[in-house]
Structure formats: structure tokens, C-alpha cells
Structure 1
Amino acid sequence: MATLFMSSLNNDGSSRGKRTFNEKWNQFYSKVLVDLIESTLAKIAQKVEWRFDSKTPDILGPNTWLYEWIPQNDLLGHQKTKAFITRCGTNGIYEAIYLGIPMVELRMFIDQPDNFTHMEAKGADVHLNLNTMSSTDLVNALNSH
């Protein structure tokens, strides 16, 4: 069975403990986004390992395991890892490139737009817009790898 790895994205509006934008907006937006992602991942055949250190999503498929911490480089280097759903952080994209793991990028803030621009120019990823992403978009991005 193939494994997908989802990097940190929390339903309380935080990523690695940092808050962005308006806190109430983040809580709503992130919950909606987490529910969309999780309901989509629940429908796919692959096992999903997700670094997620917040309240368990309302919709959690039997194929999804949540972890507060995962040794990212080890998981990306595992023979069964087939794709990396990432928020576009610098370390994660370098590790995925080095290990040859295709990425689906969900960029959010800070250095991530620049990282995305570089990856897009090299054709190294599939990017999804968080504001317009649908369940079908995510499935198609994962299937493109």
C-alpha cells in the first residue's frame, strides 16, 4: 500500500505554533480546510500519515493516522511513500527533492510563496490554491503523481 505524507496543518489556525492573520478567521478557515482535506483523503486507497497536533478532525478516514510529530526525512525516504502534501516549507521541499518524492503544495505564508515559485519554475510539484481548492482538485493532484 502506498503512503502519503501530509505535513503540519492544524485546525486552530496555527502551523508550528505560529498564528497568522486574524485568529477567529484562522480558526474558521483552517477548520473548513482541514475538513475538506480529511474528507478527501478518507476516500482514497492510500494510507495517509499526517503530522497534526491539534483537535482531531471531525471527519477522519480509517486510512489516516495522525501524529503530533513524525521524523519527516525518514518518512519521506520510506520506500512506500508516494507523495508529500506540503505547506511548502523550505526544509520539507529540500528533503522531498533530495529523496525524489512528488509534492502537492498548499502554500500559506512567510517563505512559502517564494518556495512555490521556484518549485513551479522547475516543474517539481503540483500547486493547489487554498482559496479555491476542491476535493476533486486534491484527488487529481495526488493522482497526477
Structure 2
Amino acid sequence: MFIPEKVVFYIEADEQVGTIHDLENSKRAYVNADTIEVIRHLIQGNSLDSFFPVEVPQKERSELILQSETVLRELTANGLLTENRPTHQGLIKKGRANPPLRVVFIELTKKCNLRCKHCYVPNCGDCVEH
């Protein structure tokens, strides 16, 4: 399993959530920690069967493999993963827990009127002191 060249796989810092984003057509899929682990395992050239320990009871193991195959098939059908080795593999980017600020907007006013569209202050009428 591979990540196509046009796709970026973003993984949050805590590795609990990831986003697979197709940069050409803006398709996205959000994946959980288990799916992230499975995809990483497959990208390294391992088989899906080898991901699940042999100690897991056969019935449960078969169900897990079937569920994983279903998710992987859906991601492949949407072009977010591929079984064919691309010329250049897509990117895997791990997010930072505390990304640096790149842009800060400051608006100086004489008093608050609670009308700024981007403001986080709740609209509470006259509760803001002027």
C-alpha cells in the first residue's frame, strides 16, 4: 500500500487522529489511531495479516482484517491510497502540539461594540465594560 504523489497524510501530534488529503481534488478522509497504525504498517511493505498478532483468536482476527480491508478499499477507491508504487510517494506530515504563530491580527478600538465577525467574545449585550 502506498500514498499517491498528490496526497498528504497529516497525523496529529498525539497520533490519535489523522487526515488524508488529496491536493488535486480536495477529497479528505479522517482516520483514527488504529487506521494510522495499519497504514504505516502497510507502507513499510508488510502484509495486513501480519499486523494482527497471532495470539488474537482466529474469529476476532478475521473480523479485524475484514474491517481493515473495508476501510482500505474505501480509501483506495477515493484515490487516497494506492496499491501501485507511485514515482514519488505522497507526504506523511506529523503535526506539532504547539505550532508557532505565523500571523497575528490586532485591531485597536476605543470601545467594544461586539460586532467583529471574528471575535470570540460572546454577544452579551451590555455586559462588556466600556
TM-score (norm 2): 0.31
TM-score normalised by the chain length of structure 1: 0.29
Which structure would you say has the larger RCO, counting Cα contacts within 8 Å and 6 or more residues apart? 2
Q: Rg: which structure is higher?
A: 2
Structure having the larger proportion of residues in strand: 1
